[in-house]
Structure 1
Amino acid sequence: MDTEALLIDALAQLGVQARQAVGAPDRGIDLVIEPGETRVQVKHRALVTDEVARRLLIEMPLRPDSVLMVVGDRVTETARRLLIEHRAGYYDLRGHLALRSSNVVIDADVEPVSGRVERTHALSGNAGLEVATALLMEPAAGVSVRELARRLGRSASTVSEVLAALRRAGLVDDGHRVEGTQLFWEVADRWRVARIYLARLPVPGDDATIAKPLRLGLDDAENTIGWALTDSAAAVVYGAPLAVRTEQLLDFYVPDLAIVRRSTTLLGSASSRLQARCAVRVAPVPAACSHRVDLATNPFEWPLAHPVFVALDLAQDAGRGREVLSVWTPPDRWARVW
């Protein structure tokens, strides 16, 4: 993608002239906006979240006479505010451009770049999340398109499109290996599923009229599909610096919506978190319930979700959860990707 050309075209729609910077004096500068000779450093990211924006603001060594402009297929509202507050700018390819500098103030709609979000955003749709989380689970392994497609039960063409978008966004290398933490945080921005609170916690000794229709999957957990313990309780088992109470509300991923419905029928629904004994959510990707972990040191009776999925849950808490992630490294069997 010719990011600078797209930005020049968008500025031109607003009557603002810009040119690409060339020559040694402008090393590190990508564009110059004519009014006031504003020098612009341009960075492209597929998805620009507040975390992505914050990292770019920290990492970019801006000159006193330059400004950062972040171009994204999608720029979240929090990222927009953060960039503007720090006298930077953004161009959301869905059709909005804003910039604050000592010489230029822009905040206007422009023509969207037709189809770009759907074509290039690697995490659009379920397939994007499935591919991304598969890579996060084995970040250094590298994988072929056909092997990953077989593993996920997806078409090779779909997986190929997702991987190509990930490469273009700089989220994986040419061997489809994950470097750094950006892919994790982009997945975290889309990792939201509503919890259903239940009045009762199922137990392994429940009779078949409850255990079988709920598909708990407690036998041979690492080779079967079933409920996966996640969030704080699972994080503690993996060594995260958290405290859990004896009556800690347990949070589970379950394989599908039918199990959620059966759970509310057989275990009863709770009107609030305070009254609940556990919570269930349909797993955002099938791997959360098919790649479970059975640790001998687990004080709970439940198979654990993979550490990547547990970390994605903690990342939804912008306060304590992300604080825990900043200091938590899982056991050597798993890689830290956050």
Structure 2
Amino acid sequence: MDLEALTVDAFNQLGIDTRRVDAADHGSNLVVDPAGLALPIRMTWRSLVTDDVAERLLADAPYSDVPLLVIANRVTETARTLLTQRGSGYLDLRGRLALRTDRVLIDAPIEPLTERAGRSTALAGRAGLEVATALLLRPEHPVAVRELAREIGRSPSTVSDILAALRRDGLIDTHNTVSGTELFWNVAEYWPTKRAHLASLPAPGDASVIRPLRLGLDTAGVEPGWALSDSAAASAYGAPVAFRSDQILDFFVPDQSILRRATTLLGTAPSNRHARATVRVAPVPAAVQNRIDTDTNPFEWPLAHPLFVALDLAQDTGRGREILDIWTPDERWTRVW
């Protein structure tokens, strides 16, 4: 992605001249010239900018006298406020440009640039989610391209391209290891949530559904099967979430054929309010392959790995994210959120 071209285009939409400069000149990439003020700025790219990401970018800025402009597919409201309050700015490709210094105040809508920029993130497709979640499952373990390609069943060239994009976006380091929470929250932005609502739950003792629905109740960690996720699984892991016995259970299932079979055998509910359970095809195969059953699990169902449970909780920007703020799973798993 040509960050300079995107930024020049954005300022030009507002009738503000810009010119490129040598990056060695006080760390600047561009000079923004509203009314002849000739303000140098530095640019950096992130796919998603949260307040945590903004804080790190501002703290790591090597030239405090040159404002930072962060270009991103999305900048959250809190990150927008933080950047502008600290004498910097952002270009949100969904259609907003802001820059605030002691000499310049710009905050205006622009034409959305996302379509022209294309999908710059590696996480837009299923392969990207598979690579990213594999890294998050063992964040401190350096991964070789061919090793990871064999593990997830993708070509080495595809994995190499995705890793390169993740490194470019600052989401992993040169050894393909994960530090911080930025990769998790970027994955959460692309985590699929569409569910089918079931009118009834499969009975674990009913042989007529165990085999056709491939529940896999006794094969956790050995074979793919249904994996309990979201609030129920979070409560089983000891997260600070209350779960009532009459609440809906949310499951990942291995493939689309099982989902169709489940809706046929168990019936569909018209809405979440009338459902006994929800099912969806696992966004990545690991969600139904790495199922876990613990001694303290109060449910009859194997649990999805804490990573996938956390990604589900992250979809609730209110209570779900509050839970993640204070939930740390036990020492068997590394907290990446």
Name the TM-score, length of structure 1 as normaliser.
Answer: 0.85
Say if 2:199 and 2:266, in contact at 8 Å, map to a contact too. Answer: yes
Q: What is the identity, as a one-letter code, of the residue corresponding to 2:177?
A: R
Find the counterpart in structure 1 of residue 110 from structure 2: 108
Classify the secondary structure of the residue corresponding to 2:110.
Answer: strand
Q: Cα gap change, 1:107/1:276 in structure 2, threshold over 3 Å: closer, same or farther?
A: closer
Amino acid at match of 2:264: T
Q: Is the 8 A contact 1:84 1:99 kept in 2?
A: no
CA spacing shift, 1:80–1:43, aligned 2, 3 Å? farther
> Residue type of the partner of 1:71?
I
Answer yes or no: is the 8 Å Cα contact 2:54–2:79 preserved in 1.
Answer: no
The farther-off stretch of 12-21 and 265-274 is 12-21
Match of 2:206 in 1: 206
SS at match of 1:42: strand
Query: Is 1:54 the counterpart of 2:55 in the alignment?
Result: no
Partner of 1:16: 17
The alpha-carbon distance between structure 1 residues 228 and 22, as it changes in their structure 2 partners (threshold 3 A), is closer
1:267 aligns with 2:266: yes
Please report how far the alpha carbon of residue 99 of structure 1 lies from its aligned counterpart in structure 2 after TM superposition.
Answer: 2.6
Question: Does structure 1 retain, via aligned residues, the 8 Å contact 2:198–2:266?
Answer: yes
Report the secondary structure of 1:262's partner residue. Answer: helix
The answer to which of 188-197 and 10-19 deviates more is: 10-19
Question: Which residue does the alignment assign to 1:226?
Answer: 225
Task: Identify unmatched segments of 5+ residues in structure 2.
Answer: none
Give the Cα separation in 2 of the matches to 1:111 and 1:275. 41
3-state SS of paired residue (1:99):
strand
SS in 2 for 1:261: helix
Supply the AA of the counterpart residue of 1:267. L
Aligned positions, number: 325
Distance 2:229 2:74 in 1: 29
Alignment-derived partner of residue 314 in structure 1:
313
How far residue 243 of structure 1 moved from its aligned partner, in angstroms, is: 1.2
Deviations 1:193-251 (A, max 9, x none): 212111111122012x2111111011221110000000011111112111111223211
Q: Give the whole-Å Cα distance in 2 for the aligned partners of 1:86 and 1:2.
A: 22
CA deviations on 1:141-160 (whole Å, 9 max, x unpaired) are: 11111111111111111011
Asked if structure 2 preserves the Cα contact closer than 8 Å seen for 1:11 and 1:18, the reply is: no
Are the equivalent residues in 2 in contact too, given 1:171–1:182 (CA < 8 A)?
yes
Is contact 1:288–1:309 with CA below 8 Å preserved after alignment? Answer: yes
Three-state SS of the structure 1 residue aligned to 2:44 is strand
| Aligned position for 1:195 | 195
Q: Distance in 1 between matches of 2:199 and 2:109?
A: 49
Is 1:42 the counterpart of 2:43? The answer is yes
Secondary structure of 1:143's counterpart equals coil
Q: Who is 1:181 aligned against?
A: 181
Match of 1:155 in 2: 155
Residue 141 of structure 1 pairs with residue 138 of structure 2: no
The one-letter code of the counterpart of 2:257 is A
Alpha-carbon distance in structure 2 between the residues aligned to 1:158 and 1:22? 32
Opposite residue 214 of structure 2, the aligned amino acid is R
Code of the aligned partner of 1:329: T
Write out aligned runs for 1:1-12 (5 A): 3-4=3-4, 7-8=7-8, 11=11
Q: Deviation of residue 71 (structure 1)?
A: 1.3
Partner of 2:299: 300
Shift of 1:75: 2.9
Match of 1:71 in 2: 71
**Structure 1 Cα separation of the partners of residues 325 and 113 of structure 2:** 39
Cα offset for 1:4?
4.4
- Cα contact 2:11–2:17 (8 A) shared by 1: yes
Per the alignment, residue 247 of structure 1 pairs with: 246
Q: Does 1:83 align with 2:80?
A: yes
State yes or no: 1:132 paired with 2:132: yes
The alignment yields a C-alpha RMSD, in angstroms, of 3.0
Partner SS for 1:127: helix
**Is 15-24 or 278-287 further displaced after alignment?**
15-24
Taking every aligned residue pair, what percent have the same amino acid on both sides? 50
- Would the aligned equivalents of 2:69 and 2:99 in 1 still touch at CA under 8 Å? no
How many Å separate the matches in 1 of 2:77 and 2:249? 35
Q: 1:64 to 1:290 in 2, by over 3 A?
A: closer
Taking the aligned partners of 1:104 and 1:21, their CA distance within structure 2 comes to 24
Give the conservation status (yes or no) of the 8 Å contact 2:215–2:226: yes
* TM-score under structure 2 length normalisation: 0.85
